[in-house]
Structure formats: structure tokens, C-alpha cells
């Protein structure tokens, strides 16, 4: 009995994970079915864009600003040791645009918007509001999920572009203060070394992460059971699963996109 | 007309409905009573096509909801008004907006007519003056009344009320049951009410059914119902402190 218990536990974890991944994949398929041709509630999309994109702007800018500063502080030791001050723009730009910007901003977005969405839909589910919509002949996927999916993808792409810019601005200022790398050297090196594909990679990653956060949070929200504690569990699961999925997809996309 | 035949439904291995059969003729006010956890809420959701049974047939006005395509199911649901156990009010909308919402979604009425009809229903449930309040600023009884106004605002052919008196004081509870009975007599439509207020329920409904472990074990007019010789019925009515075997 004691020998089989760990195996059973691993099996249970595997089955639970498969169940959740299957549910999320099914939800994604239903979202795509309603996107072609578009079947979504436009006023709800507008509300979501305002709440998820515009109202996340300040916290994302603050995060990106700090990321840029940390980047330069960390790079200082190596740049100083090997005399690579002229390459600071490229180093900061490459790291921020291709990796740190999309990933850190997505994690922040997941904690703010993903958690909120899981809690909102979870509360609607346990208080029968989702069934209430069905009774009014309103498809909850078209009305609740698709606008949130589209809004999260658009918002995260826009916030990543803005965040990357802010991170690079703060890195350039910090580089000037800490290492005497003037603005011209920083930016000319950055633009000379980075290719359009690097910028495209950042946007593709942001779109993928936005989709992941949307599907995960909506899936956990709509499958909430067990009242208020169930909503708490859904929020927790949504944030943890989004983070894991973001890292896995980041690894795969980095591998595929070079 | 609602006909549920041999309905089975299981949630996580627990049987919620276990061979339930129930026939509700058109224009009847049916009260469903039973102990907590016997499957009353599941029955309400199955009857309006929100939950698909594992087995059995759900026929509403000639349409089998289990086998119906999405279009037919939606057509039936358009004619169902449901008051949920948790009220299911949209918290971001005012009282008036909540009541207007079904009219805006399900009818072609103009804005003025929608407003007038919603105001009339809000007044009917005794909440005039509360139109601009948000649900989270209302008491439990007021929320129930808003939910009732929303459920019946389109004059649905079938009105299903899932425990509209749960957690309310006897006076408010009775008031809500009287409102539901009033709606039934005004419209002549089918009304199914689940309630834990057994005396109140038996005094307003035309037919009553007792659910026990996922099935209907007794059904009939309230007077006969009270004289039932079945052990479960006697025990339940006794627990509900009703004088079974006698007149109300």
C-alpha cells in the first residue's frame, strides 16, 4: 500500500493536469469557432480593453522602469570588467525585447488581470450568473470569454511594446549615470545590432502569453465550484498555471524563433 | 407542459437525480419541497435545459431538450424565466438595468416600452424607489424580489423559482410566495417553485411534489399530500412541523 501511494499520487496529478489542459484546449477551440466569423459582444470588449489595458498601464510602466534599471545594475560588473560599454545598448535591448520584457510583463499581467478575470468569472459561476445569461439565450463564451480573450491579447501586446520602450529608456538613463555610456552610443548601438525579427519576436511572444493568460483564467473561472473557497482556489490555480504555461511556451517559442 | 422521464444525473460520483419522473401540465403552479441536497436545484436546471441529464428525457412544450440542437434549446430557454437560488443578479447593473436586461435581449420592444415595463415589475415587487440602487446595497429579501421581477418581466411561459424564500424571515418569505402565486394567476403560465418554506408553499401551490434522494416520491394537490401514508412524507412534514393527516 505504502509503495503504491506515490505512484497513485503521481498518477492523480497527471490525470488532473490532463483534465485541465484538455478543458483549456476545448475552451480555446470554442473561442476560435466564435472568432471566425467574429461573434463577440463589442461593448463588453470595450469595457475589457479599458479595464485590462488602460488601467494596467501605470503598474506595467512602473515594472518596466525597474526592469530597465535592474538590467543595467546587473550588467555593470561584466560590462565594466570586459570594457564593453559601447555594447550596452545591444545587450540591454536584446535581453529586454526578446526575453525579459515579454516574460516579466506577462507575469505581472497574469497576476493583475488573469487573477481578476478568474475571480470575476468564478464568482459569476458560483452565483449562477453564467446560467442566468444562458437563460437569456446569451452564449457565455461569446459574451464573457471571447471579449476577454481578444482584450487580453491586444492589451498585452500594446503593454509589452510600451513596457519595452520604458525599460530601454530607464536602462539608457541608468547606463549614462552609472557607466558614462552616453545616450547616442546606447541607442545607435541598439538600433544597429537589433533586427526587425527581434521586435517581431517580442510581439509574437506577448500575443501568445496574452492568449495563455486569457484561456487559463477563463477556464478556471468558468469551472469554479464550491462557493467562495472555490473562487479562491480558481484564482490560485489560474495564476500558477498561467505562470507555468508562460515559461513552457517561452522556452518553446525561444527555441523555435531562434 | 413539462415532462421529465426517468432522469438520472450524477456529479463527481454523487447521484443528484436518480430516476426522477415528473409531469407538469401547462398553467400549473407546482411546489417542490424536500430536504436539503435531495436534488431540487438540479431539477430546476434540468427542466430549463441548463443541465443535461446523464439519462432520461426532458420534454418542454414538445421539444426534447436532451436531443434538441442549440437553436431549439435557445428557443425553449427564451420562454423560461428562472429565478436562481443565488439570485444571479448582475452586480455591475442597477436594479432597473437588471430587470430591463431580459427585455432588451429577448424582445423587440422600444427603449421607452422596456423602461415602462421594467418599472412596472419593480413596482409590482414593492421596490419602487430602488431602481437606481445596485444589488450589493440591497437586503436578501430585496435581492430576491429583484430576481423575481427579472425572471417574470418577459411573461415567460414557464417560470422556475429555485428556493426564492431561502434564508428569509417568515413574513418576507410569505410575501414572495404570494407574489409568485399572483404572477401565476395573472398570466396563467406554468410556474415551478422550489422552497424550504413548506407551510407557505403548501398554502399557495395548486400541486405539490416531495423530492427525496433524487426522485419524486409523492405528488398531488396539497390537501391529499398532507394525508399521505408514506413514511418519508410523514417524517418530512413532521420535521417541517406540519400537522400531517389533518387540515391546514
pLDDT recorded at residue A89 = 85
Chain A residue numbers touching B50 (CB-CB < 8 A): 131, 134-135
Candidates B60, B66, B10, B16; CA nearest to B41 is B16
Q: How confident is the model at residue B168 (pLDDT cuts 50, 70, 90)?
A: confident
Residues of chain B contacting residue A126, judged by C-beta atoms under 8 Å apart? 86
Number of domains in chain A: 1
d(CA A172, CA A183): 6
Cell numbers linked to A114: 488573469
Closest chain B C-alpha to A67 CA, distance in angstroms:
36
Contact predicate B137/B170, CB 8 Å: no
How far is residue A211's CA from residue B126's CA, in Å, rounded to a whole number?
46
DSSP H helices in A129-195: 129-135, 140, 146-179, 183-193
Separation of first and last alpha carbons in chain A: 48
Residues of B with CB below 8 A from A136's CB?
Answer: 77, 101-102, 105-106
Residue B248: pLDDT band (50, 70, 90) is very low
Chain-chain contact of B88 with A126 (C-beta, under 8 angstroms): no
- Give the residue-averaged pLDDT of B115-135: 92
From the list A127, A135, A138, the residue facing B82 with the nearest CB is A135
Residue A128: list chain B partners with CB under 8 A.
84-88
Which pLDDT score, from 0 to 100, does residue A190 have? 87
User: How far is residue B168 CA from its own chain's centroid?
Assistant: 16
Is B48 in contact with A136 (Cβ distance < 8 A)?
no
How far apart CA A16 and CA A50 sit, in angstroms, is 35
Instruction: Tell me phi and psi for residue B56, to 5 degrees.
Output: 110, 175
Tell me which residues of chain B, numbers 35 to 64, contact chain A at a CB-CB cutoff of 8 Å: 45, 48, 50
What whole-number distance in Å separates Cα of residue B120 and Cα of residue B108? 18
Percent of chain B predicted with pLDDT > 90 = 40
pLDDT per residue, tens digit, chain A (258 aa), is 577 888 999 999 999 889 999 999 999 999 999 988 887 888 889 999 999 999 999 999 999 999 999 888 888 788 878 877 788 888 888 889 988 899 999 999 999 999 999 999 999 999 888 988 888 878 889 889 999 999 999 999 999 999 999 999 999 998 888 888 888 888 988 888 888 999 999 999 999 999 999 999 999 999 998 888 999 999 999 999 999 999 999 999 988 887
> Of A19, A33, A39, A132, which to mutate for an interface test with B (greatest number of B Cβ within 10 Å)?
A132
In total, chain B counts a number of residues equal to 248
User: Chain A within 8 Å of B241 (Cβ-Cβ)?
Assistant: no
Contacts of B76 in chain A (CB under 8 A): none
Beta bridge mates, B84: none
What range defines the domain where residue A113 resides? Answer: 4-257
Distance in angstroms (rounded) separating the CA atoms of residues B148 and B138: 14
Pick from A129, A132, A137: which is nearest to B106 by CB? A137
Residues of chain B contacting A138 with CB distance shorter than 8 Å: 105
Cβ of residue B217 closer than 8 Å to a chain A Cβ: no
Residue B17 · residue B9 · CB < 8 Å: yes
Which single residue is written with the C-alpha cell 481578444?
A150
User: Cell numbers at residue B87, please?
Assistant: 439570485
CB–CB contact B86 A127 (8 Å):
yes
Task: State residue B246's pLDDT score.
Answer: 45
Instruction: Write the pLDDT tens digit of every residue in B201-219.
Output: 888 899 999 998 899 988 8
Q: Record the cell numbers describing residue B1, joined without a space.
A: 407542459
Q: Calculate the CA dihedral of residues A146, A151, A157, A162 and round it to 10 degrees.
A: 180
> What is the complex's ipTM, to 2 decimals?
0.76
Query: Is it the case that residue B245 has pLDDT exceeding 50?
Result: no
Q: Which chain A residues contact residue B45 at CB under 8 A?
A: 131
Q: Quick one: residue B37, left, alpha or beta (phi over 0 = left, psi -120 to 50 = alpha)? A: left
Q: What is the pLDDT of residue B117?
A: 94
B88/A136 CB distance under 8 A: no
Q: Which residues contact B164 (CB under 8 A, 6 or more apart)?
A: B83, B144, B147, B148, B176, B177, B180, B193, B195
Cβ <8 Å between B50 and A137: no
Rounded Cα distance, B27 and A68, in Å: 70
Q: Is B23 exposed, middle or buried (0-12, 13-18, 19+ CB in 10 A)?
A: middle
Distance CA A141, CA A218 (A): 9
CB pairs under 8 A between A and B: 41
pLDDT score, position B1 = 84
Sorting pLDDT into bands at 50, 70 and 90, what band is B242?
low
Question: Residue written as cell 426532458?
Answer: B58
What average pLDDT does the segment B27-37 reach?
89
Alpha helices by DSSP H, listed for chain B, are 40-47, 70-78, 95-106, 111-124, 140-152, 170-187, 198-204, 222-226, 231-239
B71 touching A, CB under 8 A?
A: no
Specify whether the CB–CB gap between A221 and A119 falls below 8 A: yes
* CB-based contact A127 B102, cutoff 8 Å: no
Residue B247 has pLDDT above 50, yes or no: no
B53-104 confidence digits (pLDDT tens): 999 999 998 889 888 888 888 888 888 999 998 888 988 889 999 999 999 8
Contacts of B101 in chain A (CB under 8 A): 136
Amino acid at each position: 500500500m505504502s509503495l503504491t501511494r506515490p505512484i497513485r499520487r503521481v498518477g492523480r496529478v497527471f490525470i488532473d493536469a490532463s483534465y485541465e489542459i484538455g478543458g483549456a484546449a476545448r475552451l480555446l477551440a470554442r473561442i476560435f469557432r466564435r472568432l471566425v466569423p467574429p461573434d463577440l459582444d463589442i461593448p463588453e470588449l470595450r469595457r475589457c480593453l479599458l479595464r485590462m489595458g488602460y488601467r494596467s498601464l501605470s503598474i506595467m510602466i512602473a515594472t518596466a522602469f525597474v526592469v530597465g534599471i535592474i538590467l543595467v545594475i546587473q550588467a555593470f560588473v561584466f560590462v565594466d570588467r570586459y570594457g564593453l560599454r559601447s555594447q550596452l545598448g545591444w545587450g540591454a535591448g536584446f535581453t529586454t525585447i526578446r526575453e525579459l520584457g515579454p516574460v516579466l510583463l506577462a507575469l505581472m499581467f497574469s497576476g493583475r488581470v488573469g487573477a481578476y478575470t478568474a475571480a470575476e468569472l468564478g464568482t459569476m459561476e458560483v452565483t449562477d450568473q453564467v446560467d442566468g445569461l444562458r437563460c437569456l439565450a446569451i452564449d457565455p463564451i461569446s459574451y464573457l470569454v471571447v471579449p476577454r480573450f481578444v482584450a487580453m491579447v491586444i492589451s498585452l501586446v500594446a503593454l509589452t511594446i510600451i513596457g519595452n520602450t520604458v525599460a530601454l529608456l530607464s536602462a539608457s538613463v541608468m547606463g549614462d549615470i552609472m557607466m558614462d555610456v552616453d545616450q547616442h552610443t546606447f541607442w545607435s548601438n541598439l538600433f544597429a545590432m537589433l533586427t526587425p525579427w527581434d521586435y517581431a519576436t517580442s510581439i509574437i511572444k506577448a500575443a501568445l502569453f496574452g492568449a495563455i493568460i486569457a484561456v487559463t483564467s477563463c477556464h478556471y473561472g468558468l469551472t469554479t465550484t464550491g462557493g467562495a473557497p472555490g473562487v479562491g482556489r480558481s484564482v490560485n490555480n489560474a495564476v500558477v498555471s498561467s505562470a507555468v504555461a508562460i515559461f513552457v511556451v517561452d522556452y518553446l517559442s525561444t527555441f523555435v524563433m531562434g | 407542459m413539462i415532462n421529465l422521464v426517468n432522469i438520472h444525473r450524477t456529479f463527481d460520483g454523487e447521484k443528484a437525480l436518480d430516476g426522477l419522473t415528473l409531469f407538469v401540465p401547462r398553467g400549473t403552479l407546482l411546489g417542490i419541497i424536500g430536504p436539503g441536497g435531495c436534488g431540487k436545484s438540479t431539477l430546476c436546471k434540468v427542466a430549463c435545459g441548463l443541465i443535461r441529464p446523464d439519462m432520461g428525457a426532458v420534454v418542454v412544450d414538445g421539444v426534447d431538450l436532451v436531443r434538441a440542437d442549440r437553436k431549439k434549446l435557445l428557443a425553449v430557454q427564451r420562454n423560461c424565466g428562472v429565478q436562481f437560488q443565488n439570485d444571479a443578479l448582475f452586480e455591475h447593473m442597477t436594479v432597473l438595468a437588471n430587470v430591463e436586461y431580459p427585455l432588451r435581449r429577448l424582445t423587440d420592444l422600444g427603449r421607452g416600452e422596456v423602461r415602462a415595463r421594467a418599472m412596472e415589475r419593480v413596482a409590482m415587487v414593492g421596490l419602487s424607489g430602488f431602481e437606481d440602487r445596485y444589488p450589493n446595497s440591497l437586503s436578501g429579501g430585496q435581492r430576491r424580489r429583484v430576481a423575481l421581477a427579472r425572471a417574470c418581466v418577459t411573461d415567460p411561459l414557464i417560470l422556475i423559482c429555485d428556493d426564492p424564500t431561502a434564508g428569509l424571515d417568515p413574513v418576507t418569505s410569505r410575501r414572495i410566495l404570494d407574489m409568485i402565486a399572483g404572477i401565476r394567476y395573472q398570466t396563467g403560465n406554468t410556474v415551478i417553485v422550489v422552497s424550504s418554506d413548506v407551510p407557505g408553499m403548501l398554502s399557495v401551490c395548486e400541486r405539490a411534489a416531495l423530492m427525496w434522494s433524487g426522485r419524486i416520491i409523492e405528488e398531488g394537490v396539497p390537501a391529499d399530500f398532507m394525508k399521505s401514508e408514506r413514511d418519508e412524507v410523514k417524517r418530512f412534514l413532521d420535521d417541517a412541523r406540519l400537522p400531517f393527516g389533518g387540515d391546514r
